[in-house]
A and B are shown apart, each in its own frame.
Chain A
Amino acid sequence: MPASPVFPFMPGGAADGASLPSGAVMLTDLTGSLRFGLKGGGSAGWLASRGVPLPAVNRIESWRGARVLRLGNDDILLLAEDADNALAELAGNWHGAIEPKGYSSWREEGWAWLRLSGPRAPSAMERLCALDLRADRFGTEDIAQTRVGHIEAVTFRSQAGFDVLFDITASAYFARMVTAAARHCTDLPIDTEGRT
């Protein structure tokens, strides 16, 4: 299987030649998955009026198979891996609404969404992020807005490891950072050539 290129791949662009590591530390690109972010006055109220449960800031709630991430009082991001219909319906309602509803934070265009997994993912994360992200300190419903691999990022736990959201223009840089961190923390093979 060929190594996964970094999304969005553009010949001659910064990501040209960059690929995602696999093996003991693995990156999976979820950037193409549906997500919907609202920001600004009225966004929390509008979502609540549509029955979306709003957690405390920096916490995660579930809604119809999607995850609701509260990044600020009026900064909310919904992620769908398996809830495309619910999220598409909500986004459609928002576009048609005229009441105070915040504004689109354009997360589906502006942010990359990568999943760090593999048996040595926690060790790699220790090298990428200064926060204490051990399971007893950082639970499945917690969010950390911090730096991961020296870039501003939002991270939280997934079943496989850690999900990381960050500026999409840094995708290739992030993939290379993770590969370098992985090679420093394990003797197990880390591949970017598609051999594993």
Chain B
Amino acid sequence: MKILTCPMNGPRNIDEFQSFGPVRAEPDPDMTADADWSRHLFRAENRRGMVVEWWRHVPSNYFFLAERDLVTNEIIRTFDASERRAQS
């Protein structure tokens, strides 16, 4: 069983979670060139390294963030979304 640690509920079977994909930049469509906007809408990154992703703990409907190594698939840490807002 693979375990993911929810910041609110603690370690749980990963079966209790739903992935919502990487945190992405939010460019202003009025200020972005067409080519860049098209890339934002239709192109997905496929790189090595770390990614920060949205996850949801389904039973509690709690959304949080997880930092994951794209090569080893190791979850480095999970944290509440307020932590990201505090950094930006």
Specify which of B1, B16, B62 is in contact with A146 (CB 8 Å cutoff): B16
In this complex, how many residues of chain A approach chain B with their Cβ under 8 Å: the count is 13
Please pick, from A57, A152, A153, the residue contacting B8 in the complex, using a CB distance under 8 A: A57
B15 near A145 (CB under 8 angstroms)?
Answer: no
The interface-forming segment of B28-36, B37-45, B53-61, B68-76 is B53-61
Is B13 within 8 A of A145, CB to CB? Answer: no
**15 extra interchain contacts, Cβ-Cβ under 8 A, other than A145-B57, A146-B9, A154-B59?**
A57-B8, A71-B60, A72-B61, A72-B62, A130-B1, A130-B12, A130-B13, A145-B59, A145-B60, A147-B13, A147-B15, A147-B59, A152-B58, A152-B59, A153-B59
* Total A-B residue contacts, Cβ distance less than 8 Å: 29
Which B residues touch A144, using CB under 8 A?
A: 9
Is A58's beta carbon under 8 Å from chain B?
yes
Number of interface residues of B (CB under 8 A): 13
Which residues between 11 and 31 of chain B lie within 8 Å of chain A, taking CB atoms? 12-13, 15-16
Given contacts A130-B13, A146-B16, A147-B15, contact A58 B59 (CB under 8 A): no
Instruction: Write the residues of chain B forming the contact surface with A, with a CB cutoff of 8 angstroms.
Output: 1, 8-9, 12-13, 15-16, 57-62
Binding site for B on A (CB under 8 A): 57-58, 71-72, 130-131, 144-147, 152-154
Contacts of A130 in B (CB 8 A): 1, 12-13
